A = this chain, B = another copy of it.
Amino acid sequence: MDLLLQNIRNEVSLSEDDAKELQQAVTSVSLKKKDILLFKGEVSNYMRFIDQGCLRAYYIDNSGNEHILQFGIEGWWINDLHSYLTQQPAQGFIQALEDSQVLQIHRDRLEVLFSNIPSIERFFRLKIQSGYVALQERTIHSLTKTSEERYLDFRNKYRNIEQRVPQYMVASYLGLTPEHLSSLRKTLL
């Protein structure tokens, strides 16, 4: 819980009372490695913060191949924002890649917090903005960079994640086959 408060206070200020009210809205979920936090077809009703562990959001295409949209580790928010915002069924899954602890706030409860505590609303607006910015950057990179460059970028940006997830998932995140990533890596040595 400390990590969550710290994460929010990093962007906006919260009084002690605000913090208390927030804490009462938060529930905690424990996940074993491989547990699914959000299933495809379910509506995402929670904003979710990773307190401990590592998760992925992924999609399955018509040929049954998995594609990873996002990784997350402690201190990150993870969600199917599309589903959360539109209240439509999620198009993919969110799964724990390690035993994990996730803190979540239900949409209805969060709306109440928004009206009581403006800085919470501001915090989430900023979060979505930075999510947008990150996604736009990723989109541009996938249009303009070679797979080797994308791998090197990933490495620089997310060394910590690269060390915690299997290489074939990094390949999936980058839109490559595991075999191709493996051979790319060989040429980099």
Interface segment out of the listed A17-25, A141-149, A161-169, A178-186: A141-149
| Residue ranges of A at the interface with B (Cβ–Cβ < 8 Å) | 59, 61-62, 65, 67, 69, 81-82, 85-86, 91-92, 125, 128-133, 135-140, 142-145, 175
Closest B residue to A62 by beta carbon equals: B144
Q: B132 to A69, Cβ gap below 8 A?
A: no
Choice from B62, B128, B143 contacting A69 with Cβ under 8 Å = B143
Choice from B59, B128, B130, B133 contacting A129 with Cβ under 8 Å = B128
Q: B132 to A135, Cβ gap below 8 A?
A: yes
- A65 to B144, alpha carbons, bound, how many Å? 8
Closest B residue to A61 by beta carbon equals: B144
Q: B136 to A175, Cβ gap below 8 A?
A: no
Closest B residue to A143 by beta carbon equals: B67
Q: A132 to B128, Cβ gap below 8 A?
A: yes
Q: How far is the CB of A136 from the nearest CB of chain B, in Å?
A: 5
